[in-house]
Structures are given as structure tokens and as C-alpha cells.
Amino acid sequence: MSRPEIGKSVKTGEFTTNYLEQGEGFPLIFIHGSGPGVSAYANWRLVLPKVAEVAHCYGPDMIGFGYSSKPTDVKYGRELWTKQIIDFMNALGIEQADFVGNSFGGSLSLSVAVNYPERVRKIVMMGPMGVEFNISYGLNEVWGYQPSPENMMQMLDLFTFNKKFANKDLANVRYQASIEPGFQEAFSSMFPAPRQRSVDDLSFPDDVIKTVKHEALIVHGREDLVIPVENSYRLINLLPNSELHIFRGCGHWTQIEKSDEFATLVKGFVTR
């Protein structure tokens, strides 16, 4: 049985990172979100092949997610994942890259831009964390997920505006991914209650965000129930070289509900 979610693997510090790779050109690193059963493939399978027409695309699974290492004796948080991204770039000889980050991946892309500005050319933040905000009901539910087909269906319902994308087949695929060995053990240790602490860990003060001079494209679904669209309105006012695209009739999964439009936006942004 073919497993498209399992790509290549590389040693990143003490851990092993599973990643997808496609295309050629300037490096573009896709950082997935933090939902249960997520992987680079689950997040980016519709977008990566299209963007790979103009860039050398990489989609790593972050530590604790997908098919990368799932240690249970580490402190999960922004510091660990940011280090993994830099270790990943170093291991593959990537001096500088563009970034596309979804949700928690938006925060991690911003973290690389803040802490290693010379390693970043441009960033795309989609439905992003990164600014300080009070945890939403939707995000609290996502991070508190307990495995069952019903709970996964409820997750998909939170993620999507157009319910054709929240079908039982996808729910089953994501549920099966969420119960693979080690998945839930790692996931349940990442964002313990009170989960506001994890939001705070993945957030930057406004004055720090203002120092990021990279070109930034911010994308959000207007009907996002997981990360409030207000986050992106704040980011456009804080990031000095940014632009904002809001999709109407779209939830948290812009890259799935508006995959063609999102890929077109990203391709235009990274090639200009």
C-alpha cells in the first residue's frame, strides 16, 4: 500500500524529520497546523504540487506530528519546533527559504523570521497564530481532542465552512492517523490544560512583530472558528511589509476549501 504521507527522512538534531519534497527553484518550506492526525501531507496535498511548479517545495512533519519523531520526554513548544526548522534547513543545506505556515505553522514561520531573520526571504501566514489572543472555543476543542470517529467529525466541522470538505471519508483518514502508535501520546502532551499557556508560548508581543521587515502575505478565512480572523487584521497593522487576503465563505482550512485560489496567491507572491 502506497503511503504518500511518508516521504524522505533526515536527521534534525536529536530527532528524525519526515518530509515531502517537490519542484525546483528557490526553497519554500510549508509548516503544517497543529490539529489531531495532521501531517504535512494532510495539510498541503492539494497545494504543494501546484506551488512546486515555481519553487523547490519542502513539507516537513513537525516533531510529535505525522511521521517525524514523537518523543515523550521533551518540552513541546515554540523553541523546540523553531530549532527543528533551523536544523532541517542546515541538514539539507538550505541557506534561506520562503515559508508558508498554517495556523500554528504561521507562528513558527514568524518565529524563524524573528529569531533567524537572515534565513527567511518571505513569509506566508495562513489562519495564523503569532499575535497574543485569548484561546478560542474552537482551538481549545482541537487541542483537547480525544480519539473517536465522532470527535474527529466534530473537528472537521470546526475547521470547515463548506461542509462538503468535512466528509466521513476524510474524518476516517484523519481518525486513523490520530490513533497510529505514538500519535495521541505525543499530541496529548503538547497542549495541556490550561491551554492558554500554549497560545502564549506561540505568541509574540506587538513590538516584536513590528520588527519583522520581511515581505509577508497573510491569508485568512472569514468564517474561521479556530483562529479568529481578527488575528490577521492585527498582523496587517503590525508587519510593516505585509498584505492581507480574506476569503469569504471559508473556515480555518483555506488551503483545502480554497486550494486553487490559495496556491495561485502563494505562487504570485513568491515569484514577484
Catalytic annotation present for 224: yes
Catalytic annotation present for 201: no
Active-site residue, selected from the candidate residues 111, 214, 224, 232: 224
Q: How far apart are CA 265 and CA 197, in angstroms?
A: 33
Catalytic annotation present for 252: yes
* Selection from 71, 77, 72 nearest residue 17 by Cα: 71
Give the number of other Cβ atoms within 10 Å of residue 34's Cβ: 26
Dihedral sign (CA 6, 8, 9, 10): negative
Strand partners, 16: 11
19 three-state secondary structure: strand
* Selection from 6, 61, 72 nearest residue 35 by Cα: 61
Active-site residue, selected from the candidate residues 34, 103, 107, 111: 103
Q: How far apart are CA 48 and CA 19, in angstroms?
A: 12
* Residue owning grid cell 527567511: 120
Q: C-alpha grid cell for residue 84?
A: 527543528
Give 3-state DSSP helix, strand, coil % of the chain, rounded to 5. Answer: 40, 20, 40
Active-site residue, selected from the candidate residues 32, 56, 220, 252: 252
Give the number of other Cβ atoms within 10 Å of residue 242's Cβ: 19
- Residues annotated as catalytic (active site), given as ranges: 103, 224, 252
